[in-house]
Structure 1
Amino acid sequence: MGDILGLVLKRLGFGLITLLIISIIIFFMVELLPGDIAEAVLGQGATPENLAALREEMGLNKPAFVRYFEWLGGAVVGDFGNSVVSGERVSTLITERFINTLFLAAYAAVIAVPFAITLGVIVALLRNTLFDRVANVLTLTSISSPEFFLGYILILYLSVKTGMFPAISSLRADMSFADLLHRTFLPALTLVLVVTAHMMRMTRAAIINLLASPYIEMARLKGTPPWKVIVKHALPNAWAPIINVIALNLAYLITGVVLVEVVFVYPGIGQALVDAVSKRDFPIVQACCLIFAATFILLNLAADVGAILTNPRLRHPK
């Protein structure tokens, strides 16, 4: 147990160091952008007095490294400053958007994870058959297609031509849960089509790789049915790579939704990031990027911990 805790703490330390480096990159890349933030906010008609007052209010007169540490200290406690466009707290503006993104990711994950694992097991059982070849072609097509392309195809056939689902995922506070699921089905389905392919192919590859093991051959010689060989013997030993790819795809569901949210005008943090970039609202841009980075690092850490717990060889490295 001590070895596992030590490995987890080591991974967590590396994750925090990585997040610190990313925060430096995010802050100073925004600093290096051309133009003056104060001039962008006030416009061309701003007077020198107004510009000086706004720079003083935003802290732009301080050295960059001082502003970075002030921003980082606020970010640690969830305070990302104020929006330069509306003046509201950034944390207030993006909290609801981030919750919406988490809901969309959870909606897609609930569908994609069990479906991908089940399909991977079935394809491994029927490998080298017509079903296996068709599944591989479809998954490769799904992986190769950009999210926005899949989104527009779904809008064309499931919204424009049939009217089954709305093309724009507008949300209201008084919506019922069933209406919420209905309105967000198309963006969730777009994400499902992308991540299912990755998880299914990894499940298939992990199981097929184990089918040549001696204990699998022994189970077959004893007359164990093929489905039981895979489910009872191969699948438990294939969990490590499967958990890794599931965690990485869950990270993608949260951090890679920008294009999907833009296509469906979904009010998530990805749409907020795009809007903030177009308005040069840099505090929101910095907050969204840092949240994406922290989420991705956290889920990568979860993938490492899952691999350690499911693979005894990783608990006692030589």
Structure 2
Amino acid sequence: MNSVARLVLRRLAIGIALLLVVSLLVFFAVELLPGDIAQALLGQSATPEAISTLREQMHLDQPAWLRYVHWLGGFVVGDLGKSLANGQDIAETVWQRLGNTIFLAAFTASISVPIALGLGILTATWRGSVFDRLANSFVLAAISTPEFFLAYILIGVLSVKMGLFPSISNINDGLPFWERLYRTVLPAITLTLVVTAHMMRMTRASIINILSTPYIEMAQLKGLRRSVIIVRHALSNSWVPIINVVVLNLAYLITGVVIVEVAFVYPGLGLLLVDSVSKRDVPVVQSCCMIFAATYMLLNLLADILSILANPRAQERG
């Protein structure tokens, strides 16, 4: 068995164990919430008979460990149950919302990754220049600003004052592709401002680190232009940390978009999670948390695999 296959199996085993731990935390954290869920759903005017009936429907009359086993077994086979708020199938709702979140993440990545890599290469090429200082100052200011604040600034400027984009990203499956992109521009710009800094600074640091190696000095002694040295020699040997930071930021774009989705009322998985918490829709909250955790772990596994493939020496050690 080669190193990549061993890595995948080892990481999958670790990921499954971690998901089991996450499932325990998610399920029993909900159990520790104060109050009776059935009472909260039915309201203070509910009769004891109605509360008892709902508790039986929700299996709240069973021991917690038994309900956990049933819930985890259903999650493994894709049966997430029914929403307590509207009675709809949770799996159908969750996958639709996850598709919207992935669409936003892919749109943001198509903007942020080229910009980050380009800025990282340029700032490494002109290290110490005015451009380098300005670019670093801008991305640090962007990453230091809270996401909701960036979102409301963009809404106020680009939507309210200039009228270029809608302030609410109300998309649905029936919209044409370009209309979906148009309505998703503002949340995509917000997320781009947040994630570009990490990728740009890692690209810059990796290239600058490679530039101090002997073979780069030999290329400089041969009279090669600095731009050629960076693109052909330094960048090709800097992919491992760059790939890691890019994939981890993609994981953030899927699992960390709750604030942005709420600000723009974007119908993604993050907004569904917030709405379900406010409605005490426990099965939906649990399903969203587990999907976020599974997605983050799978993307971490992807980062490990790509790093090994990009580094033959690491592949030999695998």
**Quick check: TM above 0.5?**
yes
Residue 10 of structure 2: aligned partner: 10
Residue 33 of structure 1: aligned partner: 33
Residue 311 of structure 1: aligned partner: 311
> Shift of the alpha carbon at 1:84?
1.1
The answer to whether the 8 Å contact 2:151/2:187 transfers is: yes
Percent sequence identity over aligned pairs: 59
Query: Which shifted more, 47-56 or 287-296?
Result: 47-56
Question: 1:247-286 to 2 correspondence within 5 Å?
Answer: 247-286=247-286
Query: 2-side partners of 1:57 and 1:176: how far apart?
Result: 41
Residue 297 of structure 1: aligned partner: 297
Query: 2-side partners of 1:133 and 1:169: how far apart?
Result: 35
Pair 1:113-2:149 in alignment: no
Pair 1:145-2:145 in alignment: yes
Query: 1-side partners of 2:272 and 2:257: how far apart?
Result: 11
Query: 2-side partners of 1:149 and 1:249: how far apart?
Result: 20
Query: 2-side partners of 1:271 and 1:13: how far apart?
Result: 31
Pair 1:234-2:234 in alignment: yes
Query: 2-side partners of 1:278 and 1:24: how far apart?
Result: 22
**What's the CA shift string for 1:47-92, capped at 9, x where partnerless?**
2221111111111111111111111111112211111111111112
**What's the CA shift string for 1:27-57, capped at 9, x where partnerless?**
1001110111111111112222211111111
Residue 53 of structure 1: aligned partner: 53
SS of residue paired to 1:88: coil
| Structure 1 residue identity aligned to 2:54 | L
SS of residue paired to 1:16: helix
| Structure 1 residue identity aligned to 2:238 | A
| Structure 1 residue identity aligned to 2:305 | V
> Shift of the alpha carbon at 1:24?
0.7
> Shift of the alpha carbon at 1:245?
0.1
Query: 2-side partners of 1:304 and 1:4: how far apart?
Result: 9
SS of residue paired to 1:23: helix
Query: 1-side partners of 2:172 and 2:12: how far apart?
Result: 38
> Shift of the alpha carbon at 1:310?
1.5
SS of residue paired to 2:162: coil
Residue 171 of structure 2: aligned partner: 171
**What's the CA shift string for 1:143-176, capped at 9, x where partnerless?**
1111111111111111111000111111244322
Query: Which shifted more, 38-47 or 197-206?
Result: 38-47
Question: 1:59-208 to 2 correspondence within 5 Å?
Answer: 59-208=59-208
**What's the CA shift string for 1:242-283, capped at 9, x where partnerless?**
000001000000011100000001111111111001111111
> Shift of the alpha carbon at 1:317?
4.0
> Given the two structures, how large is their TM-score scaled by the length of structure 2?
0.97
| Structure 2 residue identity aligned to 1:285 | V
Query: 2-side partners of 1:100 and 1:123: how far apart?
Result: 34
Query: 2-side partners of 1:159 and 1:40: how far apart?
Result: 38
SS of residue paired to 1:174: coil
SS of residue paired to 1:93: helix
**What's the CA shift string for 1:215-256, capped at 9, x where partnerless?**
000111111111111111111110000000001000000011
Residue 287 of structure 2: aligned partner: 287
In the alignment, structure 2 segments of 5+ residues that lack a partner are: none
Give the root-mean-square deviation of aligned CA atoms: 1.2
Query: 1-side partners of 2:258 and 2:132: how far apart?
Result: 32
In the alignment, structure 1 segments of 5+ residues that lack a partner are: none
Query: Which shifted more, 47-56 or 60-69?
Result: 47-56
SS of residue paired to 2:113: helix
Query: 1-side partners of 2:84 and 2:36: how far apart?
Result: 12
> Shift of the alpha carbon at 1:94?
1.8
Query: 1-side partners of 2:3 and 2:188: how far apart?
Result: 39
| Structure 1 residue identity aligned to 2:188 | A
SS of residue paired to 1:112: helix
The answer to whether the 8 Å contact 2:3/2:317 transfers is: no
Query: 2-side partners of 1:5 and 1:95: how far apart?
Result: 29
The answer to whether the 8 Å contact 2:108/2:192 transfers is: yes
Aligned residues: 318
Query: 2-side partners of 1:313 and 1:176: how far apart?
Result: 46
